[in-house]
Amino acid sequence: MRIAFFAALVAFVVQSSLAQTTKPLDGRPWNVSTGNLSVVFIQASPVGAHPRDGVIEPPPSLESQVAWREKGLVANEDYIAWGAVERTPGKWEWAQHDAVEKNQHAAGLKYVVYDWAHFPPVWLREQRKSERTLMKCLEHGQETNYLSIFDPRTIAWYDHFYKAVHGHFGDKVDDMYACILGPYGEGNYPLNVPDWINIGHCHEGYWCADEYAIRALRASMTKKYGEVGKLNEAWGTKYATFADVRPPEEVTGTDKYKITPGMFPTAQDKRRWLDFITWYHQALIDFAGQSVETLLKYYPPERVRLKPGGTAHGINPIAWGTFSPGYAKMAAKYPRIVLQPADCLGAVFGDKWLGTAYAYYGVRLGTEPAGSLDKKTYVRRMFSDASCGASQHFTYEFDQHVEEIRKYIHLYTGKPGETEVALFCPTTYYRLGGDLGPTIRAANKLRDLCEFDVLDELLIEDGALTPAKYKVLVVTQAEIVDRLILEKLDAYVRAGGKVVLVKKQAVAEVEGREWVMARELTTVANLEELKGLVGGLNGVDGKFDGLWTCRRGGQTMVFNTTDKAVAAEVNGKQVTVEPASIWESR
Ligand SMILES: [Zn+2]
3-state secondary structure 130-150: HHCCEEECCCCCCEEEEECCC
Q: What's the CA gap between 296 and 205, in Å, rounded? A: 31
Say how many C-beta atoms besides its own lie within 10 A of residue 266's C-beta.
12
CA 127 to centroid of ligand 1, rounded, Å: 22
CA 320 to centroid of ligand 1, rounded, Å: 14
CA 193 to centroid of ligand 1, rounded, Å: 14
CA 130 to centroid of ligand 1, rounded, Å: 21
pTM of the model: 0.95
CA 214 to centroid of ligand 1, rounded, Å: 16
CA 144 to centroid of ligand 1, rounded, Å: 8
Beta carbons of 450 and 542 less than 8 angstroms apart:
yes
CA 138 to centroid of ligand 1, rounded, Å: 7
CA 319 to centroid of ligand 1, rounded, Å: 13
Q: What angle do CA 183, 317, 527 make, to 5 degrees?
A: 135
Stretches where the chain sits below pLDDT 50 are 1-20
CA 31 to centroid of ligand 1, rounded, Å: 39
Task: Render the burial of 573-586: b for 16+ CB within 10 Å, e for the rest.
Answer: eebebeebbbbbee
Q: What's the CA gap between 533 and 529, in Å, rounded? A: 8
CA 255 to centroid of ligand 1, rounded, Å: 8
CA 209 to centroid of ligand 1, rounded, Å: 10
Grouping H, G, I as helix, E, B as strand and the rest as coil, residue 200 is strand
Grouping H, G, I as helix, E, B as strand and the rest as coil, residue 299 is coil
CA 249 to centroid of ligand 1, rounded, Å: 15
CA 124 to centroid of ligand 1, rounded, Å: 21
The residues facing 76 across adjacent strands are: 34
CA 263 to centroid of ligand 1, rounded, Å: 21
Q: What's the CA gap between 411 and 409, in Å, rounded? A: 5
CA 134 to centroid of ligand 1, rounded, Å: 12
**Residue 255: its pLDDT value, please?**
79
CA 316 to centroid of ligand 1, rounded, Å: 20
CA 287 to centroid of ligand 1, rounded, Å: 22
CA 149 to centroid of ligand 1, rounded, Å: 17
CA 118 to centroid of ligand 1, rounded, Å: 18
**Residue 462: its pLDDT value, please?**
98
CA 176 to centroid of ligand 1, rounded, Å: 32
Q: What's the CA gap between 85 and 356, in Å, rounded? A: 39
CA 186 to centroid of ligand 1, rounded, Å: 20
Phi/psi-derived region of residue 253, left when phi > 0, alpha when psi is between -120 and 50, beta in every other case: left
Q: What's the CA gap between 522 and 200, in Å, rounded? A: 53
CA 137 to centroid of ligand 1, rounded, Å: 5
CA 216 to centroid of ligand 1, rounded, Å: 20
CA 212 to centroid of ligand 1, rounded, Å: 17
CA 142 to centroid of ligand 1, rounded, Å: 5
Query: Mind listing the pLDDT tens digit for each residue in 272-324?
Result: 999 999 999 999 999 999 999 999 999 999 999 999 999 999 999 999 999 99
CA 338 to centroid of ligand 1, rounded, Å: 33
CA 251 to centroid of ligand 1, rounded, Å: 11
CA 140 to centroid of ligand 1, rounded, Å: 4
CA 412 to centroid of ligand 1, rounded, Å: 42
CA 481 to centroid of ligand 1, rounded, Å: 31
CA 200 to centroid of ligand 1, rounded, Å: 10
CA 205 to centroid of ligand 1, rounded, Å: 7
Q: What angle do CA 579, 584, 586 make, to 5 degrees?
A: 150
CA 271 to centroid of ligand 1, rounded, Å: 25
CA 281 to centroid of ligand 1, rounded, Å: 19
Those residues whose C-beta lies under 8 Å from the C-beta of residue 433, and which sit 6 or more positions away, are 258, 259, 260, 261, 263, 318
CA 204 to centroid of ligand 1, rounded, Å: 8
CA 201 to centroid of ligand 1, rounded, Å: 6
CA 252 to centroid of ligand 1, rounded, Å: 10
CA 294 to centroid of ligand 1, rounded, Å: 30
